[in-house]
């Protein structure tokens, strides 16, 4: 018996390095300096997965995204996307991916959304029937009906982003690359974008690679998080694992109607902030379980309210970088 | 390999060009004004020196000026505005993300933009400077018809080559824009070169003898000067075939070299990041 064939990977990256050479000073003979943007990263993304790329500015996320899109050539390393090497088979490769750069627009300012989509149909050679089908599906899912005849320059940012996502999917790409798709969007628009991407992956099996600074995007969407910093992969795991291993801390906040009393805390809990009417305690649930701690403080006089929270993902990541900064 | 995307790019820019109707009218007024001023200058110069054997008669110089003015927007004054915008905003990366041949894609768009701007203006100006001028009794200042039928047909062929040549030169400005990530350089270089060397400022046949062969041999002469000479029936050294040959030569050379430069530029964008 042969073992079952594993699902083929949509994206394979091996030991990818990218070094930029920049000229210092404006002069002709200025010295050049090398900047290592990617220092040998490897990962693979199976078909149909949503993988989130996170990292601070300058970590190498955009460089990786550009290489996978086929618009940037790495210094060394191997990449296969849908079985193609992006930078050597550029035209064939780009026909099979969809890309949204959140800070740029791929639609045409002078045209309406509908005209832009029709133009992309011709560029990608989408057959009329398939175009009509996709058009109807995307218009409904992304709520584009009302803005289809508006010119792109008149759209709000949220409307434009929905139109951009439709534009990136009109040719049924197998892989969707989203570079900060929710940047600058208001809350309802962010929710709409997340819901759509989630359905896209679930219903059509599209592989999605996403970069973001919005940790809620990752929390809501990504089954898997790749943390990148200083051009290296610092972690590559399911989101929950990252949260568990990096930071198991919990935070207990107590509100008092008078001055908070002095407390003798059990091992594993420390007072981390004190305000005129509140107290913040940080604890490790492995040393002191939450119920025990609550029982410990619950009888305090003057206690109005208490809340237990997990640290935000921003804090997790910030802590994560601090731990790996060495 | 389908041609559809390139027709689409053409159609898009043609539409954008036509969308600015007020610009067409404003441009027409400006070109009528410059045309009229130039004509008056020629009239006084020619009348001041009636014995000098000029390479163009006054009537020919006037017709040259009208055609030149009507084709002003056909000149490669700078990059395609859409590419300039895309370079500034960084949206130019999206052009690398399209499954198309970038040269043909940009060329179709550039050609359409030139024609979309130039054709309506040329037709309007030809009507005003031709029949309308004659009707109001300014026949002596009007646009003269082509020298003969052969001249008419050949000048039509030649202006077609001229438009292609201009779009090819615009491609060079587009590449410059993609390299410098700003459209300003292309305008700073393109506008003076095109205005001076195309004969817009002064018809190329009116320059001093010794410099005329050089002016005829440079690529900008092929945009409007050679077609106008064929239209007027004024002799081109080596004949009409030389004129058309020069246009074809520059079209081929600038395309081949331009494609190389484009490939190198795309490589550089791919290496350094857009």
Q: How many residues does the structure list for chain B?
A: 274
CB contact (8 A) between residue B270 and residue A109: no
CB contact (8 A) between residue A69 and residue B97: yes
CB contact (8 A) between residue A99 and residue B97: yes
Distance from CA of B23 to the nearest CA of A (A): 16
Q: What is the mean pLDDT of residues B2-30?
A: 79
Residues in chain A whose beta carbon is closer than 8 A to a beta carbon of chain B?
A: 20-21, 63, 66, 69-73, 87, 90-92, 94-95, 97, 99, 101, 103-106, 108-111, 119, 122-125
Task: Name the residue facing B270 among A71, A99, A124 (closest C-beta).
Answer: A71
Please give the pLDDT value at position A30: 65
With contact defined as beta carbons under 8 Å apart, do B183 and B83 qualify?
Answer: yes
B148 at the A interface (CB within 8 A)?
A: no
CB contact (8 A) between residue A106 and residue B94: yes
Q: Chain B 79-118, CB below 8 Å of chain A: which residues?
A: 82, 85, 89-91, 93-94, 96-101
CB contact (8 A) between residue B93 and residue A91: no
**Is A172 exposed, middle or buried (CB count within 10 Å of its CB: 0-12, 13-18, 19+)?**
middle
B54 at the A interface (CB within 8 A)?
A: no
With contact defined as beta carbons under 8 Å apart, do B78 and B176 qualify?
Answer: no
**Top-tier CATH class for A9-244:** alpha beta
Task: Name the residue facing A71 among B16, B96, B100 (closest C-beta).
Answer: B96
Best interface-test mutation with B: which of A32, A107, A110 has the largest number of B CBs within 10 A? A110
B272 contacts in chain A (CB < 8 Å): 20-21
Cα–Cα dist A304/A116, whole Å: 57
Report the 10 Å Cβ neighbour count for B231: 24
Looking at the structure, give the CATH architecture of the domain made up of residues A248-310. 2-Layer Sandwich (3.30)
CB contact (8 A) between residue B90 and residue A91: no
B12 at the A interface (CB within 8 A)?
A: yes
Chain B residue at shortest CA distance from A75: B271
Task: Name the residue facing A123 among B100, B269, B271 (closest C-beta).
Answer: B100
CB contact (8 A) between residue B12 and residue A95: no
Residues 6+ positions from B177 with CB-CB distance below 8 Å = B79, B83, B84, B87, B183, B185, B186
Q: ipTM value of the model?
A: 0.73
**A305 by DSSP, 3-state: which?**
strand
Question: Mean pLDDT across chain B, nearest whole number?
Answer: 88
Q: At residue B274, does pLDDT exceed 60?
A: no
Best interface-test mutation with A: which of B10, B270, B272, B274 has the largest number of A CBs within 10 A? B270
Packed helices B225-232 and B239-272: angle between N→C axes, nearest 10 degrees: 160
Instruction: Give the count of Cβ contacts less than 8 A between chain A and B.
Output: 70
Chain B residue at shortest CA distance from A117: B8
Cα–Cα dist A199/A203, whole Å: 6
CB contact (8 A) between residue A66 and residue B273: yes
B273 contacts in chain A (CB < 8 Å): 20, 63, 66, 72
Long-range contacts of A156-161 (CB under 8 A, 24+ apart): A157/A184, A157/A185, A157/A189, A158/A185, A158/A186, A158/A188, A158/A189, A158/A192, A160/A105, A160/A107, A161/A100, A161/A102, A161/A185, A161/A189, A161/A193
B97 contacts in chain A (CB < 8 Å): 69-71, 94, 97, 99, 106
Within chain B, residue ranges assigned H as helices are 4-19, 21-48, 58-70, 81-89, 93-96, 102-127, 133-135, 149-180, 184-197, 212-217, 225-232, 239-272
Best interface-test mutation with A: which of B88, B97, B106, B113 has the largest number of A CBs within 10 A? B97
Return the domain boundaries, chain A. 9-244, 248-310
Task: Name the residue facing B89 among A21, A70, A104 (closest C-beta).
Answer: A104
Q: Domain of residue B50: give its range.
A: 4-272
The pLDDT tens digits for B102-139 are: 899 999 999 998 998 888 888 888 888 888 888 887 87
Strand ranges, E, within A259-298: 269-275, 278-283
The pLDDT tens digits for A135-163 are: 998 998 888 989 999 989 899 988 898 89
Q: What is the mean pLDDT of residues B193-217?
A: 91
B269 contacts in chain A (CB < 8 Å): 71
Task: Name the residue facing A87 among B12, B16, B270 (closest C-beta).
Answer: B270
Task: Name the residue facing B99 among A21, A72, A94 (closest C-beta).
Answer: A94
Looking at the 3D structure of chain B, how many domains does it have?
Answer: 1
Residues 6+ positions from B219 with CB-CB distance below 8 Å = B165, B169, B250, B254
CB contact (8 A) between residue B8 and residue A122: yes
Please give the pLDDT value at position B187: 93
CB contact (8 A) between residue A110 and residue B8: no
Chain A residue at shortest CA distance from B96: A71
Chain A residue at shortest CA distance from B19: A110
List of chain A residues with pLDDT < 50: 326
Task: Name the residue facing A106 among B2, B91, B272 (closest C-beta).
Answer: B91
Please give the pLDDT value at position A325: 61
């Amino acid at each position: 018996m042969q073992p079952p064939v594993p699902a083929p990977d949509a994206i394979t990256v091996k030991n990818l390095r990218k070094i930029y050479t920049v000229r210092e000073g404006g002069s002709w003979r200025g010295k050049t300096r090398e900047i290592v943007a990617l220092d040998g990263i490897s990962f693979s993304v199976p078909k149909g997965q949503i993988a989130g790329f996170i990292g601070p500015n300058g970590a190498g996320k955009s460089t990786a995204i550009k290489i996978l899109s086929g618009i940037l050539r790495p210094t060394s390393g191997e990449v296969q996307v849908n079985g193609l090497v992006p930078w050597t088979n550029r035209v064939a490769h780009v026909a099979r991916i969809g890309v949204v750069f959140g800070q740029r627009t791929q639609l045409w300012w002078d045209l309406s959304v509908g005209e832009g989509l029709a133009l992309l149909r011709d560029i990608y050679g989408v057959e009329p029937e398939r175009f009509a089908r996709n058009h109807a599906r995307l218009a409904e899912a992304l709520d584009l009906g009302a803005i289809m005849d508006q010119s792109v320059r008149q759209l709000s940012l949220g409307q434009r982003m929905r139109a951009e996502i439709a534009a990136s999917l009109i040719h049924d790409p197998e892989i969707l690359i989203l570079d900060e798709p929710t940047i600058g969007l208001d809350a309802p628009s962010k929710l709409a974008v997340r819901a759509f991407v989630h359905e896209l992956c679930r219903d059509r099996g599209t592989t999605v690679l996403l970069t973001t600074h919005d940790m809620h995007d990752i929390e809501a969407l990504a089954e898997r998080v790749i943390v990148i910093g200083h051009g290296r992969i610092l972690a590559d795991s399911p989101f929950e694992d990252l949260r568990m291993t990096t930071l198991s801390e919990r935070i207990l906040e107590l509100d008092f109607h008078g001055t908070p009393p002095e407390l003798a805390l059990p091992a594993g809990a420390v007072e981390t902030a004190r305000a005129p009417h509140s107290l913040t305690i940080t604890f490790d649930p492995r040393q002191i379980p939450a119920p025990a701690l609550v029982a410990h403080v619950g009888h305090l006089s003057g206690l109005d309210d208490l809340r237990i929270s997990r640290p935000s993902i921003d804090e997790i990541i910030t802590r994560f970088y601090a731990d790996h900064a060495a | 390999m389908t041609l559809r995307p390139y027709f689409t790019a053409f159609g898009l820019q043609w539409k954008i060009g036509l969308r600015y109707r007020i610009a067409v009218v404003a441009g027409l007024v400006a070109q009528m004004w410059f045309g009229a001023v130039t004509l008056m200058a020629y009239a006084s110069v020619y009348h001041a020196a009636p014995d000098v054997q000029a390479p163009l008669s006054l009537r020919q110089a006037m017709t040259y000026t009208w055609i030149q003015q009507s084709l002003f927007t056909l000149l490669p004054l700078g990059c395609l505005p859409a590419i300039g915008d895309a370079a500034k905003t960084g949206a130019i990366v999206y052009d690398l993300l399209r499954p198309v041949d970038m040269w043909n894609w940009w060329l179709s768009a550039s050609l359409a933009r030139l024609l979309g701007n130039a054709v309506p203006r040329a037709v309007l100006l030809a009507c005003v400077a031709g029949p309308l001028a004659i009707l109001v009794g300014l026949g002596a200042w009007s646009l003269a018809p082509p020298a003969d039928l052969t001249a008419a047909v050949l000048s039509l062929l030649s202006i077609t080559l001229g438009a292609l040549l201009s779009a090819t030169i615009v491609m060079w400005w587009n590449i410059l824009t993609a390299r410098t990530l700003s459209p300003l350089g292309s305008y700073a270089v393109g506008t003076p070169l095109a205005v001076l060397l195309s004969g817009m400022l002064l018809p190329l046949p009116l320059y001093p003898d010794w410099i005329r062969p050089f002016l005829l041999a440079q690529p900008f002469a092929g945009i409007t000067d050679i077609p106008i000479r064929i239209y007027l029936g004024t002799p081109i050294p080596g004949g009409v075939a030389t004129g058309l040959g020069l246009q074809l030569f520059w079209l081929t050379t600038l395309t081949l070299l331009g494609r190389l430069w484009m490939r190198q530029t795309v490589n550089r964008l791919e290496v350094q990041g857009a």
